[in-house]
Structure formats: C-alpha cells, structure tokens
Amino acid sequence: MTVHTLTATALRAGYGETDILHGLDLAVPPGKITAIVGANACGKSTLLRAMSRLLAPRQGHVVLDGRSVHNTPSRELARTLGLLPQSPVAPEGITVADLVSRGRHPHQRLFSRWTRKDDEAVDRALSATKTTELAERSVDELSGGQRQRVWIAMALAQETDILLLDEPTTFLDISHQVEVLDLLSDLNHSRATTVVMVLHDLNLAARYADFLVAMREGRIHVCGAPEDVLTEDNVLDVFGLESRIITDPTSGRPIMLPIGRHRIATANAEDGMFR
Amino acid sequence: MSSASLDRIVINRLRRSRKQRVLIAALIAIVVAIFALALSYGQSLTPPGEVIRVLLGENVPGAAFTVGQLRLPRAVISVLAGLSFGFGGVAFQVMLRNPLASPDIIGISSGASAAAVFAIVVLSLKGPVVSILAIVAGLGVALVVYGLSYRNGVSGTRLILVGIGVSAMLESFIAYTLSQAPAWSLQEAVRWLTGSVNGAQLAQAAPLLMALLVFGGVLLSRARDLEALRLGDDTAAALGVSVSRTRVIIIVAAVGMIASATAVTGPIAFVAFLSGPIAARIVGSNGPVLIAAALIGAVLVLAGDYAGQFLLPGRYPVGIVTGVLGAPYLIVLIVRANRIGGSS
C-alpha cells in the first residue's frame, strides 16, 4: 500500500453554462476517511466527479501523486482511484459474482485471460463485504442494503488505494447505513484505504470521518476534524439551520440536533441540560 | 479469506463459461444445419454427397448449377449479412443499454437506403459506387444522430428519439424520390427498401467478409469495455473506460459492418434489432451476447430467406419475413418502455 496524495487546486467546474464549483481547494488526507457534507446542490457530487475525472474542470487541477488526473490514462487511474457513483446501474439478471468481477476491468489487458489473481481479488471483496453467500444470486433480487454492499464489493475488487463514494448510504435504513459505514471503516483500518465520501447525514459523517469537509455554494466553507467543523455556527452558515451540538456519549464525536420552530420544550432554554 | 470460498468462485466461473461455450457451439451447429439445408433442399432435393462434391469444386451435372450458382451464393451472403446485422445491432444495444437503440430503428439503415435510392434514381449511378455511397451515408447519419443528441454526453433515450426522428425524415425522402423515379430505375431502387438475397453472387462475399473481420475484430477488442458500459457511463468511466472514445469506436465499427451488409442485401428489416434480445434470452444478458447475437443474425437471415422461398405460399424476399417477425416485438418493447415511464 503506497501513500497517495490527492489534491484539488483552484478547481472550477460545472455543467452547461453554469459553474458549480467556484475555485475550490482541497487536500485529501491520505489513509483517512473524509466525509463531504453540505446543503443540496452545493457541489458535493460535482466535486467527487471532478476528482475522479468524470467531469473535466474548467479551471484548476485535480492532482494525484503529482500528476493531473485528467492527463492520466483512464485505465491507469482506475487502478489507484475507484469511484462508486450515486446510482449505478445493475444489468438485468447479473449475478453478484459477475458484477463484482467487473471491478477487475482496469487490471485486464486486451484479450488477456482471467487469472487466479482476479479470482482472489473477487473472493476478498466478497468476504470483506460479507456477500460471499450471495455470490450466485441475481443482483435484482437483493435488498437495498445487500445491493449496496455488492456495489462496494465491486469497487473493492478494483483494489484501489483511494475510494470515492457518492452517497453510499442513500435509500438505506439506519442499520444498513451504519453497516456500510462500518464496512468502510474496516477497510480504512485494515488496508489504509483512503476513503472520500459524500454523506447526507451530518451526525453519521461526524461519527465516521476523520476529516470533515463542509461545502457551501461551490466552495469549501470549512474543513478539519469533526469537532472543529460541526459547530452551531457552521451549521447555521452551511445549512441555514439553528441547531444544538452535543457530544455523543459512545464515540465522543459531536452530534447536531436541529432546533426548528416547533415542539421546543422549555428545557431547551435552560442551557446546560445537554452539556 | 477461506480457500473454500475461492474454490467455489472458481468452480462457478468455470461452470458458467463451459455452459456459455456449449450454447455458442449449439448456435454454430444450428447455423451450419440451416446452411446445409439451404444448400441441399430447395425446389428439388440434392443428395448431400453431391452437395459436398460441388463444394469441393467438382463439376456435377445439374447440381453444379443449382447448388453452386443458385443456392451457395445465397446461403453464403445470408450468413455473412446475418452475422454483420446481428453483431452491429447488439453492439449498439449494449452500448446504449436499450434494445431500441438498434441501427435499423435509429435511422442508420434508412440513411444507407436513402443514399442508395438517391444515387440510383437521381444520379443514375450503378454498381459498387452505390454501395460505397450507402456505407458513407450510414456512417454520416450515425454521426449526425450522435451529434444532435449530444448534451453533456449522450443519453441513450435522447439518441433513440433523435434517431427515430431522423429515420422518419429519411423514409419520407425515400418515398418522395421513388415517386419521381422513372420506371427503369424503380426496380433497382426498390431493392434498397426491402432486404433480399435474390441474385446474390459469390463475388460479393469477399468484401463483406473483409468488413466483418475488420469491424468485428474491433468490436471484439472492445467487448470488455462494452460490458463495463452496461453498468452505466459513470461506473464504466470509474473502471477505466474512456467512455466517449469507446463509443465513437464502437459506433464506427458497428455502422461500418451494418452498412457494408446493407450495401449487398439492402436493409433486412429488424435482424439487427431482434438478434441481440434473442441472444440475451439464450446465453443470458451477461453472457457472450456479441457472438451469440451475430450467430442469431445468421440464423434469422438464413431461415427467413428459406421460409420466404419455400415454406410460405408465394415467394417473399427475406426482409419481408423478418419484418413480419420484428414488428410485433418492436410494439411490445415500446409499450413496455412507456409503461415503465420511459427507459433510461
């Protein structure tokens, strides 16, 4: 496992006429879990797409190990940097083993045979995601949580040192969300895989990330350790939401409680109840 | 990381690929069987021994003409055209993740026909020039349809809708040109509307085979990228596929193949469209659909032509037979796509 540096400098990117990222700088801490949070349409997914070269920047660079990702041959890049898009398409009737095998694509040459190494990578990916038992099942018939684990398995079979995930927990119930995030943490601990993910849930982001990035209107509003990023002021700036921040007794990480306009008990006014 | 699970993965993979090889072999056997039938049994029965002697180049009285001059060229051209239509069609369908994305639906075949009809009727051209114009026009229409549907990348649905529109325009252009056609060129021009292997000659086989080998080779070299594209453009890109470049290469190769076949036989309706889905039914949509669809294409053209000649009351060109087969399936697909609320 080599240490890779992935940075974005003065990154400007968007679709059609509009810019979505307005000159953004980010250095992804190697070997850590980074979570990107922010309001809808603040450019989280766009940032992920630009970093994985799915979207060409208008200005600025995304540099992996000193080389612009947009000048790196796609196959070569795909051996270092993996991406799980927000809504991947599973071809009708494909089996789990078959889908996970597709992750080996960047490791294969023209007309080269499937090798023992490929089988082993698939086996490792299946067992890491606890989907070995599902290997011969059709992806269509899996539950949402199982399916997401299978997609992650495909990205794992790619055996990249950096893994980007666009909202890997969307459409999952809370236990499956935790399961997926635990799995990514395992991966980060056991193989030092650098994980960068877009997450919707602030509290899960603060819980699982080593490095939290809060985006606002195409720029990075603040980034750093979850304790420093998830503050009442920042939540107000980024989401326009009044909130209280308390400390999770289990993890010691910050938890955000939205205040809103209703059902505000008097206890809320008595500062200190939660602190 | 138990080795038991690894063994199971390997065993299942080998079992799957063995099953696929058996299915492909069975399809090849079917093609060979219909080919043999078409050579030996038409208006009259030629004993297999005589057929083989003719194929070996012996001069067998009677059989040398019926088999060597009539049936063999027809069967050979049927196989080659069928392979080309099936292969080119499935490449489009897989690449755009939609069975409606077949070249005969999105205007590529009508582009080739329109150019040929125009060349014959208006420019009074004949022979290979017409074929070359047809191939160029097929490619041109493909690129125009691709260009018109480009907006932040190409979505399959947009390309199909643009293609259907372009196809309708070309069809009316063909109808207008034909209405102006002098009687002497009409017959030659009409050949470009309904695919047929009537009057096939062995001399046409060599260029068709060349096109099939060159373009087919290109497509096979991209087979893995095509497989990855089935996971969506983003996932394919994340797996290291250069999506736009791969698409252009596949479009050029598939259109080159289809237009070459169209130049020889005319547009044999729906073979490109039907082969892929039938192949997916047989080998599974994640099996070797490219090869299987090419073989199904050969089966459709061979069997369609045989049925049109001998099994139906009256004689019909193969394009009529495949058209009758394909149209209901097209309706089913469109109805189903609408019910889901448009396909992705």
The span from the CA of A271 to the CA of A185, in Å, is 35
- The DSSP output letter for A209 is -
Residues in B closer than 8 angstroms to A48, CB to CB, are none
Residue-range domain boundaries for chain A: 1-80+162-230, 83-159
Task: State the pLDDT at residue A1.
Answer: 58
* B290, B226 Cβ separation under 8 angstroms: yes
Share of chain A above pLDDT 90, in %: 67
In the predicted model, residues of chain B with pLDDT beneath 70 are 1-2, 152-154, 337-344
Task: State the pLDDT at residue B49.
Answer: 84
B87 token code pair: 């292969």
Cβ pair B235:A85 closer than 8 A: yes
Sign, CA torsion A231/A236/A241/A244: positive
Cβ pair A76:B240 closer than 8 A: yes
Closest listed residue to residue A125, CA positions, set A142, A143, A94, A104 = A104
Mutate to test the interface with B, among A17, A98, A101 (most CBs of B within 10 A): A98
Mean pLDDT to the nearest integer, A34-48 = 92
B192 token code pair: 């470009």
The span from the CA of A69 to the CA of A83, in Å, is 13
By 3-state DSSP, what share of chain A in percent is helix, strand and coil, each rounded to 5?
A: 35, 25, 35
Over the stretch A59-73, which tens digit does the pLDDT of each residue have? 999 999 989 998 899
Question: What is the torsion angle, in degrees rounded to the nearest 10, for the CA atoms of residue A20, residue A25, residue A30 and residue A34?
Answer: -50
Residues in A closer than 8 angstroms to B228, CB to CB, are 102, 105
Mean pLDDT to the nearest integer, A218-225 = 94
What are the distances in angstroms from CA A9 to CA A47, A61, A218? 12, 5, 13
Please name the CATH architecture into which domain A1-80+162-230 falls.
Answer: 3-Layer(aba) Sandwich (3.40)
List beta partners, residue A245.
A256
Cβ pair B238:A124 closer than 8 A: no
Cβ pair B238:A120 closer than 8 A: no
Which distant-in-sequence residues (6+ apart) come within 8 Å of A259 by Cβ? A241, A242, A243, A244, A268
Over the stretch A128-180, which tens digit does the pLDDT of each residue have? 888 899 989 999 999 888 898 999 999 999 999 999 999 998 878 898 899 89
- Nearest CB to A15; choose among B152, B221, B228: B152
Judged against a pLDDT cut of 70, whether residue A221 lies above it is answered with yes
By CA distance, what is A99's nearest residue in B? B231
Q: Whole-prediction pTM value?
A: 0.87
What ipTM goes with this model? 0.86
A269 token code pair: 């006014």
The span from the CA of A95 to the CA of A140, in Å, is 8
* B195, B326 Cβ separation under 8 angstroms: no
DSSP code per residue over B122-137: TS---THHHHHHHHHH
Residues in A closer than 8 angstroms to B152, CB to CB, are 15-16
User: What is the total residue count of chain A?
Assistant: 275
Task: State the pLDDT at residue B1.
Answer: 47
Residues in B closer than 8 angstroms to A124, CB to CB, are 1
- Nearest CB to A105; choose among B5, B239, B344: B239
- Is residue A78 within 8 angstroms of chain B, CB to CB? yes
The count of other CB atoms within 10 Å of the CB of residue B237 is 25
